[in-house]
Amino acid sequence: MDPRLRSIVEIETLHEILEELDYYKLLKLTPDADSGDIDPAYRAEARRLHPDRYATVGDAQFRRKVNHVYRAVSDAYRTLRDADSRRTYDSELADGRRRMDAAARKEAEAAAAAAANPELAARTDKGGKYWKLALQCYRDADYTGAVMQIQFALTFEPDNDAFKEWKAKCQKLAEDNKKDTNPFKLRIV
Protein backbone atom coordinates (compact mmCIF):
# COMPACT_ATOMS: atom_id res chain seq x y z
CA MET A 1 0.00 0.00 0.00
CA ASP A 2 1.18 3.50 -0.79
CA PRO A 3 2.61 5.11 2.41
CA ARG A 4 0.65 8.31 1.78
CA LEU A 5 -2.61 6.39 1.41
CA ARG A 6 -1.76 4.35 4.52
CA SER A 7 -1.36 7.58 6.52
CA ILE A 8 -4.67 8.92 5.26
CA VAL A 9 -6.46 5.68 6.18
CA GLU A 10 -4.80 5.76 9.60
CA ILE A 11 -5.99 9.33 10.26
CA GLU A 12 -9.52 8.44 9.15
CA THR A 13 -9.53 5.41 11.45
CA LEU A 14 -8.08 7.33 14.40
CA HIS A 15 -10.73 10.01 13.96
CA GLU A 16 -13.49 7.40 14.01
CA ILE A 17 -12.28 5.70 17.21
CA LEU A 18 -10.89 8.80 18.93
CA GLU A 19 -13.56 8.88 21.65
CA GLU A 20 -12.75 5.28 22.58
CA LEU A 21 -9.04 5.97 23.14
CA ASP A 22 -7.68 7.27 26.42
CA TYR A 23 -4.69 9.60 26.61
CA TYR A 24 -2.25 6.74 27.14
CA LYS A 25 -3.42 4.93 24.04
CA LEU A 26 -3.23 8.13 22.01
CA LEU A 27 0.45 8.42 22.89
CA LYS A 28 1.00 4.65 22.58
CA LEU A 29 1.91 4.34 26.27
CA THR A 30 0.77 2.15 29.14
CA PRO A 31 -0.78 3.74 32.25
CA ASP A 32 2.26 2.72 34.31
CA ALA A 33 4.69 4.51 31.96
CA ASP A 34 7.43 6.61 33.53
CA SER A 35 7.12 10.36 33.27
CA GLY A 36 10.29 10.35 31.17
CA ASP A 37 8.55 8.29 28.49
CA ILE A 38 5.80 10.85 27.91
CA ASP A 39 7.83 13.51 26.10
CA PRO A 40 9.43 11.17 23.51
CA ALA A 41 6.10 9.44 22.90
CA TYR A 42 4.39 12.77 22.30
CA ARG A 43 7.13 13.97 19.97
CA ALA A 44 6.89 10.80 17.90
CA GLU A 45 3.10 11.03 17.60
CA ALA A 46 3.14 14.78 16.98
CA ARG A 47 5.66 14.34 14.20
CA ARG A 48 3.64 11.52 12.66
CA LEU A 49 0.22 13.19 12.97
CA HIS A 50 1.07 16.87 12.52
CA PRO A 51 -1.44 18.66 10.26
CA ASP A 52 1.34 20.21 8.15
CA ARG A 53 2.15 16.74 6.82
CA TYR A 54 -1.31 16.65 5.26
CA ALA A 55 -1.46 20.23 3.99
CA THR A 56 -1.36 19.09 0.37
CA VAL A 57 -4.49 16.97 0.76
CA GLY A 58 -7.22 19.01 -0.90
CA ASP A 59 -10.12 17.71 1.18
CA ALA A 60 -11.13 20.28 3.84
CA GLN A 61 -13.13 17.65 5.76
CA PHE A 62 -10.02 15.48 6.03
CA ARG A 63 -7.89 18.41 7.24
CA ARG A 64 -10.47 19.05 10.00
CA LYS A 65 -10.13 15.40 11.04
CA VAL A 66 -6.33 15.69 11.11
CA ASN A 67 -6.57 18.81 13.26
CA HIS A 68 -9.01 17.11 15.63
CA VAL A 69 -6.72 14.09 16.07
CA TYR A 70 -3.67 16.31 16.56
CA ARG A 71 -5.47 18.42 19.20
CA ALA A 72 -6.39 15.23 21.07
CA VAL A 73 -2.73 14.11 21.05
CA SER A 74 -1.63 17.55 22.29
CA ASP A 75 -4.29 17.48 25.01
CA ALA A 76 -3.06 14.04 26.08
CA TYR A 77 0.48 15.36 26.33
CA ARG A 78 -0.52 18.47 28.32
CA THR A 79 -2.43 16.30 30.76
CA LEU A 80 0.10 13.50 31.23
CA ARG A 81 3.29 15.57 31.44
CA ASP A 82 2.16 17.37 34.63
CA ALA A 83 2.21 15.07 37.67
CA ASP A 84 -0.87 16.66 39.31
CA SER A 85 -2.90 16.58 36.09
CA ARG A 86 -1.83 13.00 35.49
CA ARG A 87 -2.97 11.92 38.97
CA THR A 88 -6.33 13.62 38.44
CA TYR A 89 -6.66 12.04 35.01
CA ASP A 90 -5.76 8.59 36.35
CA SER A 91 -8.53 8.86 38.94
CA GLU A 92 -10.98 9.96 36.24
CA LEU A 93 -9.84 7.11 34.02
CA ALA A 94 -10.48 4.70 36.88
CA ASP A 95 -14.02 6.13 37.06
CA GLY A 96 -14.49 5.34 33.37
CA ARG A 97 -13.94 8.78 31.82
CA ARG A 98 -11.44 8.84 28.96
CA ARG A 99 -11.21 12.61 28.66
CA MET A 100 -10.57 15.17 31.37
CA ASP A 101 -13.54 17.47 31.88
CA ALA A 102 -13.17 21.19 32.53
CA ALA A 103 -13.72 20.90 36.29
CA ALA A 104 -11.05 18.23 36.67
CA ARG A 105 -8.62 20.22 34.52
CA LYS A 106 -9.26 23.32 36.67
CA GLU A 107 -8.67 21.29 39.84
CA ALA A 108 -5.40 19.90 38.48
CA GLU A 109 -4.24 23.38 37.44
CA ALA A 110 -5.08 24.68 40.93
CA ALA A 111 -3.05 21.86 42.47
CA ALA A 112 -0.10 22.69 40.22
CA ALA A 113 -0.39 26.39 41.10
CA ALA A 114 -0.54 25.52 44.82
CA ALA A 115 2.60 23.43 44.47
CA ALA A 116 4.36 26.33 42.77
CA ASN A 117 2.99 29.03 45.10
CA PRO A 118 1.94 27.98 48.62
CA GLU A 119 -0.14 31.16 49.01
CA LEU A 120 -2.68 29.60 46.60
CA ALA A 121 -3.04 26.25 48.34
CA ALA A 122 -6.22 27.05 50.30
CA ARG A 123 -9.59 26.32 48.68
CA THR A 124 -11.96 27.63 51.37
CA ASP A 125 -12.12 30.93 53.24
CA LYS A 126 -11.81 29.36 56.68
CA GLY A 127 -9.01 27.05 55.61
CA GLY A 128 -7.33 30.01 53.96
CA LYS A 129 -7.47 32.03 57.18
CA TYR A 130 -5.47 29.44 59.12
CA TRP A 131 -3.25 28.70 56.13
CA LYS A 132 -2.14 32.35 55.98
CA LEU A 133 -1.40 32.25 59.69
CA ALA A 134 0.61 29.05 59.19
CA LEU A 135 2.66 30.62 56.41
CA GLN A 136 3.35 33.65 58.61
CA CYS A 137 4.53 31.34 61.41
CA TYR A 138 6.73 29.54 58.90
CA ARG A 139 8.30 32.81 57.74
CA ASP A 140 8.91 33.73 61.40
CA ALA A 141 10.60 30.33 61.96
CA ASP A 142 7.87 29.37 64.46
CA TYR A 143 7.49 25.85 63.09
CA THR A 144 5.46 24.54 66.03
CA GLY A 145 2.97 27.37 65.50
CA ALA A 146 2.90 26.62 61.78
CA VAL A 147 2.05 22.97 62.49
CA MET A 148 -0.78 24.04 64.80
CA GLN A 149 -2.22 26.50 62.24
CA ILE A 150 -1.97 23.93 59.45
CA GLN A 151 -3.83 21.44 61.64
CA PHE A 152 -6.61 24.02 62.06
CA ALA A 153 -6.66 24.58 58.29
CA LEU A 154 -6.90 20.81 57.76
CA THR A 155 -10.12 20.69 59.78
CA PHE A 156 -11.72 22.75 57.00
CA GLU A 157 -9.89 21.08 54.11
CA PRO A 158 -9.00 17.53 55.19
CA ASP A 159 -8.17 16.41 51.65
CA ASN A 160 -5.75 19.25 50.84
CA ASP A 161 -2.46 17.56 49.90
CA ALA A 162 -0.49 20.81 50.00
CA PHE A 163 -1.51 21.33 53.64
CA LYS A 164 -0.48 17.78 54.52
CA GLU A 165 2.85 18.18 52.75
CA TRP A 166 3.62 21.45 54.52
CA LYS A 167 2.53 20.02 57.87
CA ALA A 168 5.05 17.18 57.54
CA LYS A 169 7.73 19.67 56.47
CA CYS A 170 7.03 21.97 59.45
CA GLN A 171 6.91 19.04 61.89
CA LYS A 172 10.35 17.96 60.73
CA LEU A 173 11.68 21.50 61.06
CA ALA A 174 10.14 21.82 64.54
CA GLU A 175 11.79 18.55 65.62
CA ASP A 176 15.14 19.64 64.19
CA ASN A 177 14.77 22.97 65.96
CA LYS A 178 14.15 21.24 69.31
CA LYS A 179 17.34 19.21 68.92
CA ASP A 180 19.39 22.36 68.47
CA THR A 181 18.13 24.17 71.58
CA ASN A 182 19.22 23.76 75.16
CA PRO A 183 16.11 22.72 77.16
CA PHE A 184 17.58 24.18 80.36
CA LYS A 185 18.23 27.55 78.77
CA LEU A 186 21.64 27.68 80.32
CA ARG A 187 24.36 29.59 78.70
CA ILE A 188 27.32 27.32 78.23
CA VAL A 189 30.60 29.13 77.86
* Mean pLDDT, the chain cut into blocks of 10 residues (189 residues total): 80 86 89 90 91 83 90 90 84 74 69 70 88 91 92 91 89 81 60
Q: At what angle do helices 102-116 and 83-94 cross, to 10 degrees?
A: 150
- How many beta carbons lie within 10 A of that of residue 29, not counting itself? 20
C-alpha 115: how far from chain center: 10
Look at residue 44 in the predicted model and tell me its pLDDT. 93
Pair 120, 113: CB distance under 8 Å: yes
Look at residue 15 in the predicted model and tell me its pLDDT. 85
Give me the domains of the chain, ranges plus CATH numbers: 3-113 (1.10.287.110), 118-180 (no CATH)
Look at residue 14 in the predicted model and tell me its pLDDT. 85
Q: What is the CA radius of gyration of the chain?
A: 25
Full-model pTM: 0.55
Pair 98, 19: CB distance under 8 Å: yes
Look at residue 155 in the predicted model and tell me its pLDDT. 92
- In total, the chain counts a number of residues equal to 189
Look at residue 134 in the predicted model and tell me its pLDDT. 93
Look at residue 186 in the predicted model and tell me its pLDDT. 59
d(CA 18, CA 72): 8
